[in-house]
Amino acid sequence: MLAMKVQARDQPVCLHTRITRGTPQMKSMITALMLAVFVLATPTAQPRAADAPNTLFVNLTTDDAWTNEMGLFYAEKVLDAGHPVVVFMNVRAVRFAVKDVPTQLKPAQDALKALMAKGAKVHVCGMCTKRAGLSQEQWIEGTVAGGAETIAIQMNPATQVLSY
């Protein structure tokens, strides 16, 4: 306890005694101050828009059908559970986004189209498309060019990112 030097005989000797035997106004002020410190020091959770579900962002980078099918299978389960899904096709995965895919890539593209039919969004990297010798005109219907929106979705704290 903090001891205080006091000249008068009838004054309290320590701070604790001074507070506990203080005037009602002093007690009210100290109680309010302690409550304010408690409220301000308590961390608060960031509110989410009506408890919206997390978004799954599936980053596909390969032209390996098996790998992409696995990513799309997982995305379908998440979509069926009620979470929004965004698929970003970049690097060699852009080959799955074109209308005339090779036969070995057809099952993975069918899975992609089925996912889109259920509401998943598909973004395709335009730079990667060009680098692969393809064009946006070759993309399947419903795909959009990746850009600022893609980055905003990916960087959102409510987004979970998986890469295949």
Q: What is the mean predicted confidence (pLDDT) over 143-164?
A: 97
Residues near 74 by beta carbon (within 8 Å), at least 6 away in sequence: 58, 162
Percent of the chain predicted with pLDDT > 70: 71
Tell which residue, 76, 62, 162, has the closest CA to residue 111. Answer: 76
Q: What is the dihedral of CA 75, 76, 77, 80, to 10 degrees?
A: 120
Q: 49-163 in CATH: which number?
A: 3.40.1260.10
pLDDT value at residue 38:
59
pLDDT value at residue 116:
98
Query: Can you tell me whether residue 56 is helix, strand or coil?
Result: strand
Sheet with strand 85-89: strands edge to edge: 143-145, 121-124, 85-89, 55-60, 159-163
Percent of the chain predicted with pLDDT > 90: 68
pTM: 0.69
Q: Each residue of 19-33: pLDDT tens digit? A: 556 667 766 766 666
Distances (CA, A) of 153 to 44, 89, 122, 156, 161: 24, 14, 12, 5, 10
Name which residue leads in pLDDT, 85 or 46: 85
Residue ranges per domain, the chain? 1-44, 49-163
Longest dimension (CA), the chain: 99
pLDDT value at residue 61:
98
pLDDT value at residue 148:
97
Q: Each residue of 70-125: pLDDT tens digit? A: 999 999 999 999 999 999 999 999 999 999 999 999 999 999 999 999 999 999 99
Tell which residue, 164, 163, 161, has the closest CA to residue 83. Answer: 161
Angle at 129 between CA 68 and CA 76, to 5 degrees: 25
pLDDT value at residue 52:
77
